[in-house]
């Protein structure tokens, strides 16, 4: 049988991307790669494929690149990892060579020389041209958010699976050796479970959801049981079509039509007057129902295959940190669902924005994955919950002690003060000029996590729960966190941090 292979990008995937890398002193391995590569090489031949335009542009010589690669290769060797071949494209974009990603030249050459089955092979990298290379050859592309991954995230098609880093992508490969059919199987099992009145965990662009057939009260009751969630806490109903919405509400107001057209599928939940078809257990007895159409294609496939609207809260225990990877869900809810669809890391990372359209003026009940600024641009001024005594409704996600890690979390203004406290986790918004604030290279300090090295609120949202859970798993005495700037998704990040810090 032909062998399967992994084509690994170098900068940003195996090692941190520091620009034109010429000095072996500047090699920093992405944490966890050695373990996962040792496992993966049992089933896959490993190749490194990297574009080094620095050579064509005169910033690097062939010799320097070769020296760096040899050095990494020797470190891998000491770690028991064998790279079959190193491929380096030295050209500039204008050269239009057949070896610069996304051109698949190297993959085709490797397949030919090493008798590879590309249809069972994977390409992993932190630039959209990495999965594009896969696409061109029938291999499966996985995108990582390390390196420059965050920067180009928006350029990717929705179907593209993304992972925090190579270790996470590698774990997924081990469980999905036939990625396309494995995913189809997960979706059809998930849909069958929903139809049978059981629970299915599925990825959305915001966080993972714990889903049940919204029209089956007994199935919905199982969600409350699994999460240990109080029954007065209403659920969001997920739909795959506008037609499904019409069965759940009395009527769709004009503003809602406009918002759906503008932002769906996407991280916006609309609260509307409910129809009699919606069971009371969904709405906590309220006469309104919260509805959204998620953007994740696996979620949409699940809902349309099941053929029913799907009630789903975030797939975590009540009050705890929301899951943005399948692993987070397994850590908290293992055993309490019938099926799980593993679609990698959630691209938005915080829950949807909940907007009530039941009164005169729309009211934001929960800040979330769609920025308030975007909503106001579409429909004009909106209010916040509590303004002018509007919308006193207190839903669960609105309780103060939500989204909390098990380690106490405190918001501070002087996070640098804690840098030398090894028993305190530091959740920083962005990187600092190292010498000033982080004398001991905090970027690589074990108990420090940076939400967005480049200070971007969207990136901070994607990382928030993941980094929180990493620190929580260390069994520290305390986690200190600092606020993000209060605009765009920064509002949602700050909202979650405040709530997490109020756990008693």
- Which listed residue (9, 11, 351, 482) binds ligand TXA by CB under 6 A? 351
Contact status: 309 vs ligand TXA (CB under 6 A): no
Q: Considering CB under 6 A, how many residues would be counted as binding ligand TXA?
A: 29
Q: Which does 9 bind (CB under 5 to 8 A by kind): ligand TXA, Mg ion, none?
A: Mg ion
Stated as kind and residue range, the H or E segment containing 76 is helix 62-78
- Which listed residue (126, 186, 205, 456) binds Mg ion by CB under 5 A? 126
Contact status: 165 vs Mg ion (CB under 5 A): no
- Which listed residue (24, 156, 398, 478) binds ligand TXA by CB under 6 A? 398
Contact status: 289 vs ligand TXA (CB under 6 A): yes
Contact status: 235 vs ligand TXA (CB under 6 A): yes
DSSP string, 474-493: TT-SEEEE-PPPSSTTHHHH
Strands 310-311 and 236-238, how do they pair? Answer: antiparallel
Contact status: 209 vs ligand TXA (CB under 6 A): yes
Q: Which residues contact 486 (CB under 8 A, 6 or more apart)?
A: 494
Contact status: 349 vs Mg ion (CB under 5 A): no
Neighbours of 218 (CB within 10 A): 11
How deeply is 339 buried, as exposed, middle or buried, from its count of CB atoms within 10 A (0-12, 13-18, 19+)? buried
Residue 171 and residue 36 in contact, taking contact as beta carbons nearer than 8 Å: yes
Contact status: 397 vs ligand TXA (CB under 6 A): yes
User: Minimum distance from CB of 395 to ligand TXA (Å)?
Assistant: 2
Q: Which does 170 bind (CB under 5 to 8 A by kind): Mg ion, ligand TXA, none?
A: none
Q: Which does 167 bind (CB under 5 to 8 A by kind): Mg ion, ligand TXA, none?
A: none
Contact status: 9 vs Mg ion (CB under 5 A): yes
Shortest-Cβ-distance residue relative to ligand TXA = 395
Pairs from 483-489 (Cβ < 8 Å, separation ≥ 24)? 483/411, 483/429, 484/429, 484/451, 484/452, 484/457, 484/460, 485/429, 485/457, 487/371, 487/373, 487/457, 488/371, 488/373, 488/457, 488/458, 489/348, 489/350, 489/369, 489/371, 489/457, 489/458, 489/460, 489/461
Residue 424 and residue 480 in contact, taking contact as beta carbons nearer than 8 Å: yes
Q: Of 139-147, 234-242, 323-331, 476-484, which segment contacts Mg ion by CB under 5 A?
A: 139-147
User: Measured from the CB atom, is 146 or 325 closer to Mg ion?
Assistant: 146
User: Minimum distance from CB of 230 to ligand TXA (Å)?
Assistant: 11
How deeply is 431 buried, as exposed, middle or buried, from its count of CB atoms within 10 A (0-12, 13-18, 19+)? middle
- Which listed residue (141, 234, 297, 344) binds ligand TXA by CB under 6 A? 234
Q: Of 56-64, 392-400, 434-442, 485-493, which segment contacts ligand TXA by CB under 6 A?
A: 392-400
Q: Of 6-14, 31-39, 212-220, 228-236, which segment contacts ligand TXA by CB under 6 A?
A: 228-236
User: Measured from the CB atom, is 65 or 290 closer to ligand TXA?
Assistant: 290
Q: Which does 501 bind (CB under 5 to 8 A by kind): Mg ion, ligand TXA, none?
A: none
- Footprint of ligand TXA on this chain (CB under 6 A)? 204, 206-207, 209, 234-236, 267, 269, 271, 283, 286, 288-290, 294, 312-314, 351-352, 354, 365-366, 393, 395-398
């Amino acid at each position: 049988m032909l062998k399967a292979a992994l084509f690994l990008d170098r900068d940003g995937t195996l090692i941190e991307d520091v620009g034109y890398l010429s000095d072996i002193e500047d090699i920093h391995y992405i944490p966890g790669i050695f373990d996962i590569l040792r496992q993966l090489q049992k089933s896959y031949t490993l190749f490194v494929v990297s574009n080094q335009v620095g050579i064509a542009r005169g910033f690097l010589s062939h010799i320097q690149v070769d020296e760096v690669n040899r050095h990494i290769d020797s470190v891998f060797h000491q770690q028991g990892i064998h790279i079959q071949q190193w491929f380096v494209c030295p050209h500039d974009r204008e050269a239009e060579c057949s070896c610069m990603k996304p051109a698949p030249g190297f993959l085709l050459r490797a397949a030919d020389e090493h008798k590879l089955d590309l249809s069972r092979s994977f390409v992993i990298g932190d630039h959209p041209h990495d999965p594009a290379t896969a696409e061109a050859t029938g291999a499966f592309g996985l995108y990582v958010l390390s390196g420059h991954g965050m920067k180009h995230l928006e350029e990717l098609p929705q179907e593209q699976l993304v992972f925090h880093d190579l270790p996470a992508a590698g774990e997924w490969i081990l469980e999905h050796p036939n990625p396309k059919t494995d995913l189809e199987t997960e979706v059809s099992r998930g849909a069958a479970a929903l139809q049978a009145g059981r629970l299915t965990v599925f990825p959305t662009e915001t966080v993972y959801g714990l889903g049940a057939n919204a029209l089956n009260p007994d199935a919905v009751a199982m969600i409350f049981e699994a999460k240990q969630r109080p029954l007065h806490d209403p659920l969001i109903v997920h739909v795959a079509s506008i037609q499904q919405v019409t069965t759940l509400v009395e009527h769709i107001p004009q503003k809602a039509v406009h918002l759906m057209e503008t932002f769906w599928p996407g991280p916006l939940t609309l609260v509307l007057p409910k129809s009699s078809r919606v069971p009371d257990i969904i709405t906590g007895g309220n006469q309104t129902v919260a509805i959204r159409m998620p953007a994740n294609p696996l979620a949409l496939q699940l809902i349309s295959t099941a053929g029913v609207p799907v009630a789903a809260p975030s797939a975590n225990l009540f009050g705890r940190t929301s899951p943005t990877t399948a692993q987070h869900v397994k850590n908290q809810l293992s055993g309490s669902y019938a099926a799980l669809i593993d679609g990698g890391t959630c691209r938005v990372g915080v829950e949807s924005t909940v907007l009530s359209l039941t009164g005169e003026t729309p009211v934001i009940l929960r800040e979330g994955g769609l920025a308030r600024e975007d909503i106001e641009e579409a429909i004009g001024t909106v209010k916040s919950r509590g303004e002018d005594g509007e919308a006193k409704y207190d839903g669960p996600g609105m309780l103060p002690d939500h989204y909390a890690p098990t380690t106490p979390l405190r918001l501070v203004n002087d996070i640098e003060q804690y840098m030398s406290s090894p028993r305190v986790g530091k959740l920083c918004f962005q990187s600092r000029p190292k010498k000033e604030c982080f004398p001991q290279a905090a970027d690589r300090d074990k108990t420090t996590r940076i939400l967005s090295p480049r200070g971007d609120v969207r990136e901070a949202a994607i990382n928030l729960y993941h980094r929180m859970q990493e620190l929580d798993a260390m069994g520290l005495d305390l986690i200190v966190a600092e606020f993000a700037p209060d605009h765009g998704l920064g509002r949602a990040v700050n909202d979650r941090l405040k709530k997490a810090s109020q756990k008693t």
